Chains A and B, each alone.
Chain A
Amino acid sequence: MSTYIGRRLIGLIPLLLGISVISYAIMALAPGGVGSIFTHSARPMSAADLAVIQHQLGLDRPWYVQYFYWLHNLVVNRDLGFSFIDGRPVMAKILEKIPTTLQLISISFICTLLIAIPTAIYAATHKNSVVDYIATAVAFIGYGMPTFWLGIMMLEIFAVRLHWFPASGLSEMGSSGFNLGDRIHHLVLPVATLTFVSLASWMRYQRASMLDVLGEDYIRTAAAKGLSPRVVVYKHALRNALLPVITLVGLYLPALLTGAYFTEIVFSIPGMGYLGLNAIFERDYPTIMGITLFSAFLVVTGNLLADIGYAVADPRIRYD
């Protein structure tokens, strides 16, 4: 196993390198250019001043040379550079925002599992029942909804019309310090949004996996020898039915991350999503690259952990 993990970790390096090259090329070759951020306001920067700044930022070089300097700085100095917009270190900007995004993702993920797994078990053990049909319908409605649209609807109904929850942010405006109750109150709508759109995948996977397991001989044997249905389902079936779902963790991380970015924008939560969106609009190359790299790292690490988890959970899996 350790050999496998070592191989996978080494494999991450060319993967991340490839992602960074492709991302940089797409970003730098996109028409428009960085100069736009300095010149399209009501008071444009003069051409001479713009040329000086572009030279200082290295933007007068071909994209692959820019990329090389960016990579060199990352590898040698472990530095993601400075934002073109505000001159702050990109690393500091990302580290400032990432806890917010991780908080949103992890709470939504936990909520998704807490709702999806029991519902899926019930739906599987009561196949074709009313509850099964309702759960399936609700899951697919959520699956078909764009995250940002659902977020806007949540805002409109629960914040604007009913005033049950705040419309934006993570804390009461002007409040100082951390208040758990206030934070939960602010997180309800964004977490509900992200959870609702995630439910379908988990419920469907878990239900299908559970149905497969419930048809196995050892389940029939367990029931035949007189074990209670509760023990059969929760002790014998569920543990085995959870195995395929572990792979979903890795596969689902990109979607969860993207969903979190949109959710942050709808609910004005200052996380990675807002940072990334602004960076893209303003062609802030170092910040875009930093976020891309962080996101890619999270996703590939998620995949790796899923594979390892699968091996740990299922003794039949051997990677050596």
Chain B
Amino acid sequence: MRHLPQTAALIAAAVLLAACSGGGSTSTSTAPENGTAAAGTPHYGGTFKIGSTSAADTLLPIYADVEGAGNDLPLAYDTLVNVDPQMRVIPWLAEKWDVSKDGLTYTMHLRHNATWSDGQPVTSADVMYEYALEMDPKSQAVYKSDYDVIANLKAPDKWTVVYTLKTANAAFLANVLSSVQHAPLPAHIYAKLPHDSMRHLDISKSFVGDGPYIVTEFKQDDHMTLTSNKTWWNGRPYIDEVYIKEYQTEQAQLIALQDGEVDMPYILTGAQWQGVKNDNRFTHIHTYANAFDWEIPNLNDPIMGDVNVRRAMMYAWDRKTEAAKLFQGEDIPVFGPISLAQSWAFDPAAKTAFPYDPAKAGQILDADGWRLGPDGVRYKNAQPLAITVGLISGNEAGAKDFEFAQAEMKAVGIKLTSKQSEINVFYQNERDGKFQLDSGGESLSTDPDPTLILGSSGIPPNGLNYARYNSPQMDALLKAALETTDQEKRRALYTKVQELAIQDVPYLWTLAPYYRNVVNARVKGVDPAQAGPFFSYTIFNLPKWWIAQ
């Protein structure tokens, strides 16, 4: 079942679709129609129009949320390192770096040719300023806790910064330094301002950035206009202007796409994708999303804390039929904490761990003492095997998915009932542990490290381990995988992580969605094989795209 709301756009109680999204590596793609991908000669000019249901609220990246400004601002700010569509960490503002043998020290060497849009060079002072700004609670930076891994930051010279970590953390570059929320800020402009004034600072009329595009107009809730940075260190972008238009419903965004009013949306829902997937006016992007859908059991609950109940549910759930009926036959059963997009760490066994086998589910429950009662529901010590599933109200997809699961579970004697909650209440209940089984979806971080959802340190209020899964063995594996930078060793450790997750079933993983999108064929240079598993990865190559004449 899925909920993961991508946007809060809602028309009364009638229209609300939730979408799953994430970031990850390109795994599959369709060929561009009509040979549009690489036709013609690149040239400068034109406007690329993006439609969004979740555009930026702010132009300062330290206040950027993941789905709004987090999508737009990578066009306007560069980070020290970047992640390419294959989710590999690559040099960006830092042209190279050294990691100490103990994995504690990262020495980042900044390129000398990067400048702010006012002509000033991007230097270590900008990195130091941004770090100090975020670390000061007065700034109210949203993702300050990402920096908790850092013991200290020093700038030995104008072009070098040295991060010393508290403990070795192989995910540091991918999860922290590649995030636009931690992009350097122009110290020569902001350093003189008090930190507690930054939250209220309006920079829309005097924007200074260092990315491929410069914000020239920002009208909140309506649009953002960006003009190409002619002196960008990685070469002037071909497209002169990017216009990001905010739509208040996914339907309006789709209409604008079909009418040619926008060239590309942030994301298409499964149903919307069906409507455009054969339309040759578009270049199609179809890759594994860096996300999965799951049921979150509260392991402190007497029923959901029983691993045999969770295992039985995994066998009793026909995910292939679920995918065919509800998700256009596209989503893929995956039974582990690492997404298909995180291909180097993904263990293929996670795709086959729990084949649909209701008979086996019944045997597991029988052996565990859950006996079928005359009403078709199983009982143990007079307690019925009845589970309440939490859903976000208004999520039609989640409600349909629940109905499917309800029928599946009924067949093996498990009674599911649903309880709908308003979105903020739903998350509050998850944090407070006031739920039995919640229906959800999760976008994952760039690095496959699943400590936030499986580590005991991730148990709320400090993480996303809403199941309250607490396994010393898992903690040790996760720690070991973070402490080595050797990818082969990490792969082996994550295979063990997935095996343990399959054994303990801390979550009921269901399906892995695709990231689906289209780009108007008038935009050239779009190579679907180079498009990443989420919007921000897909536009990674935007500076190399151009508009057909």
* Interfacial chain B residues near A45, Cβ < 8 Å: 142-145
The number of residues on chain A lying at the interface, defined by a beta carbon within 8 Å of a beta carbon of chain B, is 59
- Nearest residue (CB) in B for A87 is B199
- Complex Cα gap A152–B241 (Å): 31
A265 B428 Cβ-Cβ under 8 A = no
* In the complex, A117 has a CB within 8 A of chain B: no
Across the interface, do B10 and A281 meet the contact criterion of CB distance under 8 Å? yes
In the bound assembly, the distance between CA atoms of A110 and B460 in angstroms comes to: 55
Q: Which of B208-246 contact A (CB under 8 A)?
A: 219-223, 225, 241, 243, 245-246
Residues of B within 8 A of A47 (CB): 460-462
Chain A residues near B12 (CB, 8 Å)? 146, 148, 262
Residues of B with C-beta under 8 A to A160: 255, 258-259
B492 sits at the interface (CB 8 A): no
By the criterion CB–CB under 8 Å, are B255 and A155 in contact?
yes
Chain B residues closer than 8 Å to A281, beta-carbon distance: 8, 10, 423-424
A277→B9 CA distance, assembly (Å): 8
Q: How far is A85 from B200 in the complex, measured between Cα atoms in Å?
A: 10
Shortest CB distance A58–B (Å)? 13
Chain B nearest CB from A38 CB (Å) reads 7
Decide yes or no whether A264 CB sits under 8 A from chain B: yes
B33 at the binding interface (Cβ < 8 Å): no
Partner of A87 from B63, B146, B462 at Cβ < 8 Å? B63
Judged by a CB distance under 8 angstroms, whether B324 is at the interface is: no
Chain B residue with minimal CB distance to A271? B221
Task: Confirm or deny: A88 has a beta carbon within 8 angstroms of a beta carbon on chain B.
Answer: yes
Give Cα distance in the complex from A46 to B458, angstroms: 10
In the complex the two chains form, is B428's CB within 8 Å of A33's CB? yes
Interface residues of A in 295-312 (CB under 8 A from B): none
A99 at the interface (CB under 8 A from B): no
**In contact, A168 and B66 (Cβ under 8 angstroms):** no
Q: How many residue pairs bridge A and B at CB < 8 Å?
A: 168
Q: Closest Cβ of chain B: how far from A33's Cβ, in Å? A: 6
CB under 8 Å from chain A, chain B span 1-22: 8-12, 14-15, 22
A residues within 8 A CB of B95?
Answer: none
**In the complex, what's the smallest C-beta–C-beta distance from A83 to chain B, in angstroms?**
9
> What 1/0 flags go to A91-104 for Cβ under 8 Å of B?
00100110000000
> When the two chains form their complex, are residues A148 and B140 in contact, meaning their CB atoms are under 8 A apart?
no
**B65 CB–A CB distance under 8 Å:** yes
Q: Mark A52-66, 1 if CB is under 8 A from B, else 0.
A: 110010000000000
With A86-B57, A86-B58 known to touch, is A38 a contact of B142 (CB < 8 Å)?
Answer: yes
- The reply to whether B255 and A148 form a contact with Cβ atoms under 8 Å apart is no
Docked complex Cα distance between A89 and B460 (Å): 32
Q: Which listed segment binds A: B155-163, B277-285, B441-449, B495-503?
A: B441-449
Question: A45-B142, A155-B255 known; A173 and B137 CB under 8 Å?
Answer: no
Say whether A225 faces chain B, with CB atoms less than 8 Å apart.
no
B28: A residues at CB distance < 8 A: none
Please give, as numbers and ranges, the residues of chain B lying within 8 Å of A46 by CB-CB distance.
Answer: 144-145, 148, 461-462
Assembled-state Cα–Cα distance A45/B427 (Å): 13
Chain B neighbourhood of A265, CB < 8 A: 9-11, 248-249
Contact B202 A43 (CB under 8 A): no
* B275-321 with Cβ < 8 A to chain A: none
| Cβ-neighbour of A159 out of B202, B220, B241, B255 (below 8 A) | B255
B67 at the interface (CB under 8 A from A): yes
Q: Which residues of A contact B49 (CB under 8 A)?
A: 173-174
* Complex contact A41–B245 (CB within 8 A): no
Q: Is B549 in contact with chain A by the CB < 8 A criterion?
A: no
Given A31, A43, A48, A173, which contacts B146 in the complex, CB threshold below 8 Å? Answer: A43
- A44 and B428 form a contact (CB under 8 A): no
Contact yes or no, B63 A42, CB < 8 A: no
Nearest residue (CB) in B for A57 is B140
Name the B residues within 8 Å of A87 (CB-CB): 58, 63, 140, 199-201
8 Å CB interface, A130-178 against B: 146, 148-149, 152, 155, 159-160, 163, 166-169, 173-174
A216 adjacent to chain B (CB < 8 Å): no
Whether A268 pairs with B142 at a CB distance below 8 angstroms is: no
How far is A84 from B10 in the complex, measured between Cα atoms in Å?
20
Contact B252 A36 (CB under 8 A): no
Q: Complex: how many Å from CA A65 to CA B221?
A: 31
Q: How far is the CA of A169 from the CA of B52 in the complex (A)?
A: 13
The answer to whether A217 has its CB under 8 Å from any CB of chain B is no
Chain A residues, Cβ within 8 Å of B456: none
Q: Which residues of B contact A163 (CB under 8 A)?
A: 259
Cα distance, A32 to B428, chains bound together (Å): 5
User: What is the bound-complex CA distance between A50 and B11, given in angstroms?
Assistant: 30
Of B145, B258, B262, chain A has the most CB atoms within 10 Å of the CB of B145
- Extra 10 A-B pairs, beta carbons < 8 Å, given A42-B444, A46-B461, A167-B261: A35-B428, A44-B462, A44-B463, A46-B145, A47-B460, A87-B58, A87-B201, A148-B15, A167-B259, A173-B243
Q: List 19 A-B contacts (CB under 8 A).
A: A31-B424, A36-B427, A39-B431, A42-B445, A42-B464, A46-B144, A46-B148, A47-B462, A87-B140, A88-B220, A97-B221, A148-B11, A148-B14, A152-B15, A167-B256, A168-B248, A169-B222, A174-B49, A268-B252
Q: Which 10 A-B pairs have the closest CB atoms?
A: A32-B424, A47-B461, A87-B199, A46-B145, A40-B427, A36-B424, A281-B8, A86-B57, A270-B221, A270-B222
